[in-house]
Amino acid sequence: MELSTLTIQEIHQLLITKKISSVELTQSMLNRIHDVDSKVKSYVTVTDEVALEQAKRADERIAKNESVTPLTGIPFAMKDCISTRNVKTTCSSKILENYVPQYNATVTNKLADAGAVLVGKTNMDEFGMGSSCENSAFFNTRNPWNLNHVPGGSSGGSAAAMSASLASFTIGEDTGGSVRMPAGFCNVTGIKPTYGRVSRYGLISLVSSFDCIGPMTRDVYDCATVLEHIAGHDEKDSTTYQSPVPNYTQHINKPINKLKLGIPKEYFVAGMEAGVESALQESIRQFEKLGMEIHEVSLPHTKYGLPVYYLLLFAEASSNLARFDGTRFGLSKSDNAKDVIDIYLQTRREGFDDEVKRRIMLGAYALSAGYYDAYYLKAQKVRTLLRRDFETALASCDLLLAPTCPTTAFKLGEKTNDPLAMYLSDIYVVATNPAGVPAMALPCGFSNDMPVGMQLIGKHLDEQTLFQVGHAYQQVTDWHKKLPNL
């Protein structure tokens, strides 16, 4: 039995019936990481000591049958933009290369309280800026399905680690598709919850009004399990919802027939890879067989999604990243510095790579006097229209179906010299973030031997329907069970 490929649910059974211990499981996962990850390069840091210590404590909890949760003893990895006390948190940036947080993110604390075992921190595009993981300042992560292809981004390390069975679940972060797009490229399930469902405290901000932390897992059931444990109100993040977190897994088997599935017509247009389009059409037929009603809907402002998303991202990111000033966190360059401005300039010149600098400059421009109204304010107004598009479409339907990306995973290097082509690969995932609605990615087929992902997009705070529908789909298909041959 290959432990690393099991679902959380399966491992939980083995743990509570004492067929395996968390220490054995964790050690075998760590061994696998040390054996296989030199090919995939999904981890920035592997936390052997922390993991074995947490696994030992998980085994004690299980032995005493004390506060055992479905995550107790389960090895997981976390995107390297989420703070972990005493464990480096780099955002895959030179500016934070040696930064060790003094506190945990709320999500880190919640997972530790549930008894989950942290095996490491995963690679990403620097500060979450990218769609291929090639903007990591450290190294490229590779797609386990074909090592010459990208895993997607920015949570490429979390998706690749999950796909290569180098963790039993991973945590990603999604500002504009960073969970869903790599999940689609790597054949894993992942959710961007409703904005405000999961606390952002301790997440190193990219765009404070878009950022969402979400799990990546082997299947929808596991995704629901992890979200149940990390979601909820947090007094340290005033944007979190007060409303209680539903017990998603308890209701996951509710019937889905008669639910209305909307197909946004603007998402099924020329430019989509033929194999992606046919996989999506096949899944629509599958939902029809499951008794759902299929309706065409319109999201009329779709064409503004990408420019609005990127404009607002540049603006918010440029002000968020101002905190990396050479005096507070991480790198500090002060060679013969004349004054504090000199420290600021030297540190940022050396600490940030090109894509980050490009976005900071564009953001500063969009926010500057004279341009603010023309760019930032205008984009905020169109953001309202994007949100209304989803509200209107979801008033007549229970959820929407869309691709995660117009293509399957592209080759390493294919888009690195063309930032606009890179931004365009986000076309189907970015609009949900300005709108705040939840969206889940799940495997739905293959095109030219590479995985295809679909997205289910729901109403605010209605992750439950996404889980029910996704789970029903995974009961009658086995795309999510397919693993790469490493």
How far apart are alpha carbons 149 and 147 in whole angstroms? 5
- Contact status: 199 vs ligand GLN (CB under 6 A): no
Q: Work out how close the CB of 124 gets to ligand GLN at its nearest, in angstroms, rounded to a whole number.
A: 8
Q: Compose the 420-439 pattern: x for residues touching ligand GLN by CB under 6 A, - for all others.
A: ------x-------------
> 């490491």: which residue's tokens?
120
How far apart are alpha carbons 195 and 202 in whole angstroms? 16
Side-chain-side CA neighbours of 202 within 13 Å: the count stands at 24
Please indicate whether residue 209 is annotated as part of the active site. Answer: no
- Contact status: 452 vs ligand GLN (CB under 6 A): no
At position 29, the amino acid (one-letter code) is M
Nearer CB in complex with ligand GLN: 302/464: 302
Please indicate whether residue 178 is annotated as part of the active site. Answer: yes
**Selected binder of ligand GLN within 73, 115, 120, 130 (CB under 6 A):** 130
Residue closest to ligand GLN when measured from CB atoms: 178
Q: Work out how close the CB of 473 gets to ligand GLN at its nearest, in angstroms, rounded to a whole number.
A: 24
Answer for the pair 191, 466: CB distance below 8 angstroms, yes or no. yes
Q: Work out how close the CB of 358 gets to ligand GLN at its nearest, in angstroms, rounded to a whole number.
A: 11
- Contact status: 176 vs ligand GLN (CB under 6 A): yes
The catalytically annotated residue of 41, 79, 110, 459 is 79
Number of H helices, E strands in the chain: 15, 11
How far apart are alpha carbons 387 and 305 in whole angstroms? 10
- Contact status: 178 vs ligand GLN (CB under 6 A): yes
- Contact status: 206 vs ligand GLN (CB under 6 A): yes
Answer for the pair 165, 5: CB distance below 8 angstroms, yes or no. yes
Q: Which residues contact 429 (CB under 8 A, 6 or more apart)?
A: 176, 177, 180, 181, 404, 405, 439, 455
Residue 338 CB coordination number (10 Å): 8
Nearer CB in complex with ligand GLN: 32/180: 180
The catalytically annotated residue of 83, 154, 158, 425 is 154
Instruction: Give the CA distances from residue 387 to residues 180, 202, 210, 382, in Å, rounded to whole numbers and listed in that order.
Output: 19, 27, 12, 9
Answer for the pair 365, 105: CB distance below 8 angstroms, yes or no. no
- Contact status: 128 vs ligand GLN (CB under 6 A): yes
- Contact status: 174 vs ligand GLN (CB under 6 A): yes
- Contact status: 389 vs ligand GLN (CB under 6 A): no
Q: What sections of 290-353 are H helices per DSSP?
A: 305-320, 340-351
- Contact status: 177 vs ligand GLN (CB under 6 A): yes
Nearer CB in complex with ligand GLN: 130/458: 130
The answer to whether the peptide bond before residue 21 is cis (omega within 30 degrees of 0) is no
- Contact status: 175 vs ligand GLN (CB under 6 A): yes
Q: Which stretch binds ligand GLN (CB under 6 A): 58-66, 172-180, 325-333, 458-466?
A: 172-180
List the catalytic residues. Answer: 79, 154, 178
Contacts with ligand GLN, residue ranges (CB under 6 A): 128-131, 153-154, 174-178, 206, 313, 426
